[in-house]
Amino acid sequence: MTAILGLSFDYHDSAAALVIDGVIAAAAQEERFTRRKHDAGFPRHAIASVLDTAGLAPADVTSVVFYEKPFTKFGRLLDTYHRFAPRGLRSFLKAMPVWLKEKLHTRERIARELRAIGIDAPLSFSDHHLSHAASAFFPSSFSRAAILTLDGVGEEVTTSIALGEGNSIRLLKTIAFPDSLGLFYSAVTYYCGFRVNSGEYKLMGLAPYGNAANAARLEELLRREVITVYADGSFRLNPDYFNYSVGLSMTRDRAWKRLTGIARRLPESEISPAHIDLALAAQHITEDIILKLAATARELTGADNLVLAGGVALNCTANGRLQRAGIFRNIWIQPAAGDAGGALGAALAQWHIAMGNPRVEPVGDAMQGAYLGPSFTRGEVVRQLGADAVYEELSEGELFATVAREIAAGKIVGWFQGRMEFGPRALGNRSILADPADPDMQRRLNLEIKYRESFRPFAPAVLEEDCLEFFDCRVPSRYMLRTVPVARAICRDTVPDDSAGYMYRLYQRRSSLPAVTHVDYTARVQTVTADGNPRFHALLSAFKTLTGHGVLINTSFNVRGEPIVCTAADAYRCFMHTGMDMLVINNVVLYKEAQPASARKDSDATVRQAFTD
């Protein structure tokens, strides 16, 4: 048996993944265990979890792979400071002690941490973008595919096009730091007042509220002064507008204000129409670059298939446009496309490329629906809930009908089943569920459950066999990674009124499923099959029997500023401190009104404050 442990840590989204004889056995993010969102620390809890999930002891690990090469990254860092000197002195003085004390000694740190938990196996290092590429190509069902990776920056590369064939990956084209599509998008995220590495989803959700004419004017300015885009999708950023290379912030704010007339928005302040228009302009540029790069990848490889990874591959609006463009016959996106997925890619690259093992055609989905984390037995669930929790247990026959009936009655349900998802999306095992036909549900979920901005849309989970009845989604979307148009048959026209502001547009009813129909008549769809997630499929089927639509709102089981829940204890705490009405953990059912007052220790105000960014 060959058990390869892949690791990513030190920057954000620390994770561990375990590949046994070429098969993905388990993967988990450290944040789920420490409860620190985007935890960058050494993934000791995630390592323990993946070993436990696979039934292995630490001594069973045969090799360990880190997802990037620290010395190469350090060389790029020194070169950047030298190139921009004397700018960046403060950043240099802040970064160097960390590198000299810790990051240059990553090999020794990993070996020390592993020995402490009983792992004594050879350690190797993969290239950052190779890890991304491997995470996209090897779990796909394609024997040959173009590979497009886009993120902030790895060691030096920010964008790459490669060709995957059999068990090999051949690099064809790269774009290097400081030119970075991921950092461009993050810079606009920062300028619009959101947090880098977590607020990009907000920028994407905000963009459709923009005024098309105003956004077009801003886009022209950005293309003229800030980012030059070439016909093949390559691009260049003007360093006069960015500070991430050597500074402690993303943008040079005065330059952006002089160009656009828009001041940087302070976090948590009111969102102005101008910032919304800037978000739309940045989204348009991002989509244009991705489509051009995809066309170049098709030309360079001649492949019919495309796979994507890297943080930019989580831009579901761009992914939807790419799918509809028809550049490739088939597209597959790694659901853990960010740095967490790099741990998995590093392990797969070790197995196939470094060790030369052939690919074996997977039986079904090699990512197993991304359900790669831990699960919990009935006894473990009961112990984690504690003696004060009041619950009942339902049979399989009762469970789905009961939960469907409660959701149809307007209840909001925490749904905790089986193995935890790997990656940023909840896909029906650590989810909050509600009725998308309720016109007030988007407001309730954002303000009473998630404690987040009201403009943020919610995603629908739909029975795959019924998908076309509600969404123009002609290719399965099992990982919730692209937006699609809502079916015209269920839409209703609205009267545009740009002068009324985005809040007016937010609460217009656009379809018979208003809570999942975004302002631009799209939805980020998850299609659910009986094979992929039988329990979630059974619940959707029971809900369809009651309501006529096998569609549910599916949002991640967490609140703003907190990772998705991992354990039953996490789920119960989140349930008790939000407006959820019902919690279902496997077959254990808890109603809010039945829980003791002692479980409601924190006031709503305290909890809201605790979960702000």
- Provide the annotated active-site residues: 12
Question: For residue 313, how far is the Cα from the chain centroid?
Answer: 9
Identify which of 516, 541, 521 has the alpha carbon closest to the alpha carbon of residue 437.
516
| 558 within 8 A of 539, measured Cβ to Cβ | no
What is the SS3 assignment for 216-236?
Answer: HHHHHHHHHHHEEECCCCCEE
Q: What are the φ/ψ torsions at residue 117 (nearest 5 degrees)?
A: -110, 10
Q: Collapse the DSSP code of 436 into the 3-class scheme (helix H, G, I; strand E, B; otherwise coil) and give the result.
A: coil
Pair 229, 235: CB distance under 8 Å = yes
Q: Classify strands 588-591 and 582-585 as parallel, antiparallel or unpaired.
A: antiparallel
Residue length of the chain = 613
298-337 burial, b at 16+ Cβ within 10 Å, e below that, comes to beebebebbbbbbbbbbbbbbbbbbbeeebbeebbbbbbb
Cβ atoms of 68 and 9 closer than 8 Å: no
Rg over alpha carbons for the chain, rounded to the nearest Å, is 24
- Beta-carbon count within 10 A of 217 CB: 14
Residues 6+ apart with CB under 8 A from 384: 376, 567, 568, 569, 572
Q: How many other β-carbons are positioned within 10 Å of the β-carbon of residue 454?
A: 13
Task: Please tell me the distance from the alpha carbon of residue 309 to that of residue 167, in angstroms, as a whole number.
Answer: 18
